[in-house]
Amino acid sequence: MSEEYGADQIQILEGLEAVRKRPGMYIGSTSSRGLHHLVYEIVDNAVDEALAGACDHIDVVINPDNSVTVTDNGRGIPVGINHKAGIPAVEVVFTILHAGGKFGGGGYKVSGGLHGVGASVVNALSDWLEVEICQEGRVYRQRYERGHVCYPLKEIGTCDPKKTGTKVTFKPDATIFTETTVYEFDVLKTRLREMAFLTKGLCITLTDDREETPRVKSFCYEGGIKEFVTYLNGSKVPLYDKVMYFEGTKNKVYVEVALQHNDSYNESVFSFVNNINTPEGGMHLVGFRNAITKTFNDYARSNKLLKDNEQNLTGDDIREGLTAIISVKIEDPQFEGQTKQKLGNSEARGAVDSIVSEQLTYFLEQNPAIAKTILEKSILAQRAREAARKARELTRRKTALEGSALPGKLADCSDKDPKNCEIYIVEGDSAGGSAKKARSRATQAILPLRGKILNVEKARLDKIFSNAEIKAMITAFGTGIHEDFDITKLRYHKIVIMTDADVDGAHIATLMLTFIYRFMPELIKQGYVYLAKPPLYKLEKNKKIWYAYSDEELSAILEEVGRDQNNKIQRYKGLGEMDAEQLWETTMDPSRRILMKVTMDEETESEVDLTFTTLMGDQVEPRRKFIEENARFVKNLDI
Ligand code: 28G
């Protein structure tokens, strides 16, 4: 089939002007995300060199002017004339828009950013870009401005003849990236670490040269995804010492899988295709799930861990507490689904299934103690699941008998169109009471929650389902959870978490976010979840009132009204200190309040998972370290 689309057609000779006209089509967006994408596109080409076995070091530097330099020690992009185009191959790479996938000449591109479009797109969207190549003792250079060649490729000097490689420096075009052209070290760090995990033996170094003392991070993992699993389980308690690792190629699909269970009840399985995260899974994930469900059940039966009259374990039972990475490399990936993030190639299912089945069977036979530990946990999960099912059925039956399913504490809104409706989840009964008085009844519903809600990181399903606060949220939202989740049943298009502006409030907000993230992550992914931001101060002067939401804001207001003894300043310690009117004016009135949308970066979803387990898990040391390293993040939550 691929022969019908020859190399000629794939080398679409569309001008780079098209990229500048519609940048979003090529890099997804021109926001901060798109800006960072430029780096990944260039690094991807260097990773391809590593996958070809020709490169083991990639260096990324954020320069003081927010240009970025990427250097690899690969073979260097060819400088000879490309016969089809009549110009040096390197110039082809940077000035001709490729459809992604294949270059002329047979070699295929394995990795590829979200859109797999590469260097020419980055060039088109850069104010300027310079490439330097070291080959056969000579250094070559070419410069482009907004995609246009400044001069023909030229030889500019000599280099160590034993050394080869490519260096690319580009400065994103501020007329395209109008939101921001400032790189965030931590964003690049997270994705580059992931890329290093996914390519064993490849070292990636990131340097921030914008500060007086440059910040440097190096990522080098001999064990690749095996070390990725260790990293993800770092803030948890592993159930056994080894990390399983399976590898092989079948039907031209290269498969790598690493896995280890921990003592939690959550599943943290992440899948990748050509180094790109596939949050919606697809055929490779289906193959993986089939393989582990069948292999563990077969083992349990033949070793009498499951008796003849007992039910098979479900996939969920076996995946309780499982951390795993599934990484496949495939020549012609087909992405499906609404967001094109789901792998459609059916050969990937068969390949992962057979490689994992075969090697896992062997592993379990060689490690009976580990097999027993995992299966004992799975059997406990099976019993808890059974208990949870009964608890759920009981509430369903009760619901059918009693009519309305909505929780008693919920003060619902009268409008029934979810688009217009909001629900405020409020910490504490007293603040809940004020909120009920203050609200706009038509569109704002209030659900008060008592005290700290259950930490779902540390509880099994049956306990979670019998928790009143959690049940109230699930029924109020209307969507159901996990497999039953249905976004079309969502009853409010804004879910607003409103807690005190102190450490306890931040903790409660984090508990609620953890619950939503584990049970209905789509609510966060689709932007329905918000944090309310109550004011920190009230300033009264000459019968006028100001509210300040931060220390800076208070200073600014004081600057304006003058600092004298007529100022009456009140610091709010909790929502309970505000009466209904104040609560409305400051935190609930849609025209005056501040809401912070909760977002998550799907490109590095494993990092989001790690954040929640680190913050909410029971290991103290990793949490302390995390809070120390991410003081900014925690402060953000500490509204
Ligand atoms: C530093 C920033 C980004 C790269 C290479 C090396 C080759 C290459 C790149 O080939 C496609 C394939 C052959 C014509 C390949 C060198 C084979 C032999 C390469 C990079 C088209 C381009 N020698 N290193 N591209 N060729 N590094 N780093 O971009 O047929 S791109």
- Across 293-309, average pLDDT: 96
Burial of 112 (0-12, 13-18, 19+ CB in 10 A): buried
In sequence order, which residues have a C-beta less than 8 Å from that of residue 166 and are 6 or more positions away?
Answer: 46, 49, 71, 72, 74, 76, 77, 131, 132, 133, 134
Percent of the chain with pLDDT over 90: 68
Q: Residues with Cβ < 8 Å from 448, sequence gap 6 or more?
A: 409, 426, 427, 428, 429, 431, 432, 433, 435, 436
Q: For residue 443, what pLDDT band results from cuts at 50, 70 and 90? A: very high
What is the rounded CA–CA span in Å between residue 609 and residue 599?
13
- Average pLDDT (76-90) is 94
H or E stretch at 496: strand 494-498
Which of these ranges, 102-116, 160-174, 553-567, 588-602, has the smallest mean pLDDT? 102-116
pLDDT of res. 325 = 98
Q: Is the CB of 74 under 6 A from ligand 1?
A: yes
Name the residue of 10, 75, 96, 117 to mutate for ligand 1: max ligand atoms within 8 A of Cβ. Answer: 75
Residue 429 neighbours by CB under 8 Å, 6+ apart: 448, 450
The answer, yes or no, to whether residue 359 has pLDDT greater than 60, is: yes
Residue type, 180: T
Question: Among the options 136, 332, 504, 589, which is catalytic?
Answer: 504
CA atoms within a 13 Å half-sphere pointing along the CA-CB vector of 557: 19
Mean pLDDT of 184-196: 96
Q: pLDDT value at position 557? A: 93
Alpha helices in 125-233, H assignment, sequence order? 185-198, 225-232
Q: What is the model's pLDDT at position 494? A: 97
Q: When comparing pLDDT for 67 and 632, which is higher?
A: 67
**Which SS3 state, helix, strand or coil, does residue 461 take?**
helix
Cα 89 to ligand 1 centre (Å): 9
CA of 405: how far to CAs of 413, 469, 476, in Å?
15, 14, 8
How many C-beta neighbours within 10 Å does residue 408 have?
Answer: 7
Task: Work out the pLDDT band at 606, boundaries 50, 70, 90.
Answer: confident
Ligand 1 atom closest to the CA of 166, numbered from 1: 1
| pLDDT at 637 exceeding the cut of 50 | no
> Which is it for strands 138-145 and 148-149: parallel, antiparallel or unpaired?
antiparallel
Lowest mean pLDDT among 4-8, 156-160, 595-599: 4-8
Domains, the chain, in order of start with CATH, read 17-220 (3.30.565.10), 225-384 (3.30.230.10)
Q: pLDDT of 209-235, one tens digit each?
A: 999 999 999 999 999 999 999 999 998
Contacts of 229 (CB under 8 A, 6+ apart): 243, 258, 259, 260, 323, 324, 325
Between the ranges 5-14, 270-279, 385-394, where is the mean pLDDT highest? 270-279
- pLDDT, residue 539, reads 93
Most informative mutation of 10, 43, 59, 77 for ligand 1 (most atoms within 8 A of CB)? 77
The helix, strand and coil proportions of the chain, stated in percent and rounded to the nearest 5, come to 40, 20, 35
Residue 130 has pLDDT above 80, yes or no: yes
Terminal Cα distance for the chain, rounded? 56
CB distance 107 to ligand 1 below 6 Å: yes
For residue 609, report the phi and psi dihedrals to the nearest 5 degrees: -55, -45
Of 9-13, 264-268, 389-393, 505-509, least confident by mean pLDDT is 9-13
The order of strands in the sheet holding 444-449 is 444-449, 422-427, 494-498, 529-532, 595-597
Torsion of CA 68, 69, 74, 75, to 10 degrees: 110
Cβ count within 10 A of residue 261: 24
- Please determine, for residue 635, whether its predicted confidence score (pLDDT) is greater than 80: no
Is 427 annotated as catalytic? yes
- Among 43-57, 295-309, 455-469, 609-623, the range scoring the smallest mean pLDDT is 609-623
Q: How much is the pLDDT for 11?
A: 45
- Going by alpha carbons, the residue nearest to atom 23 of ligand 1 is 75
C-alpha dist (Å) from residue 131 to 42, 75, 128, 172, 612: 11, 14, 10, 15, 41
Q: Ligand 1: which of 42, 47, 49, 95 to mutate, judged by most atoms within 8 Å of the beta carbon?
A: 49
- C-alpha R_g of the chain: 28
pLDDT of residue 113: 37
Between 387-401, 445-459, 485-499, 601-615, the lowest mean confidence (pLDDT) is in 387-401
| Pocket of ligand 1 contains residue 78 by CB under 6 Å | yes
571 or 131, higher pLDDT: 131
Is the per-residue pLDDT at 2 higher than 60? no
* Residue 77 CB less than 6 A away from ligand 1: yes
Q: Is residue 308 predicted with pLDDT exceeding 70?
A: yes
Tens-digit pLDDT profile for residues 11-34: 444 588 899 999 998 898 999 999
Q: Kindly tell me if the per-residue pLDDT of 261 is higher than 60.
A: yes
Q: Which residue lies with its CA nearest to atom 8 of ligand 1?
A: 77
Amino acid letter, 174 = A
Side chain identity at residue 532, one-letter code: A
- How many CB atoms sit inside 10 A of residue 308's CB? 6
Closest CA to 172 of 67, 45, 273: 67
Average pLDDT value for residue range 463-477 = 88
The CA distance from 241 to 228, in Å, is: 15
| Mean pLDDT in residue range 611-634 | 62
* 170 CA from centroid of ligand 1 (Å): 18
- Judge whether 502 counts as a catalytic residue: yes
Q: Mean per-residue pLDDT for 330-356?
A: 93
Least confident piece of the model among 10-14, 507-511, 562-566: 10-14
483-500 mean pLDDT:
93
Most confident of 26-30, 33-37, 334-338: 33-37
pLDDT exceeds 60 at position 7: no
Range among 264-268, 281-285, 385-389 with highest mean pLDDT value: 281-285
Q: pLDDT band at residue 99, thresholds of 50, 70 and 90?
A: low
Mean per-residue pLDDT, 351-360? 98
Q: What pLDDT is stored for residue 620 in this prediction?
A: 66
Spatial CA neighbour of 591 closest among 447, 440, 446: 440
Count of CA atoms in the C-beta half-sphere (13 A) of 539: 22
Residue 53 has pLDDT above 90, yes or no: yes
Q: Which atom of ligand 1 is nearest to the CA of 106?
A: 30
DSSP result, 59-105: EEEE-TTS-EEEEE-SS----SEETTTTEEHHHHHHHS---SSPPTT
pLDDT: is 577 or 401 the higher one?
Answer: 577
- Which pLDDT value is given to residue 639? 27
Mean pLDDT of the chain, nearest integer: 88
Does residue 484 have an active-site annotation? no
- Model confidence at 436, pLDDT cuts 50, 70, 90, reads very high
* pLDDT score recorded for residue 116: 40
Give dist(CA 297, CA 307) in Å, integer: 11
Determine what percent of the chain is predicted with pLDDT higher than 70: 89
Position 407 scores a pLDDT of 86
Q: Beta strands 126-135 and 138-145: pairing type? A: antiparallel
The yes-or-no verdict on residue 3 having pLDDT over 50 is no
Distance CA 374, CA 377 (A): 5
Q: Are 98 and 117 in contact (CB under 8 A)?
A: yes
Quote the pLDDT of residue 400: 56
Q: Name the residue at shortest CA distance from atom 30 of ligand 1.
A: 105
Ligand 1 contact, 72 CB (< 6 A): yes
Rounded distance from Cα 165 to ligand 1 centre (Å): 9
Mean pLDDT value of segment 567-593: 91
Amino acid residing at 83: H
Residues 459, 388: contact at Cβ < 8 Å? no
CA atoms within 13 A on the CB side of 475: 21
pLDDT confidence of 114, banded at 50, 70, 90? very low
Task: Give yes or no for residue 485 having a pLDDT over 80.
Answer: yes
- At residue 337, does pLDDT exceed 60? yes
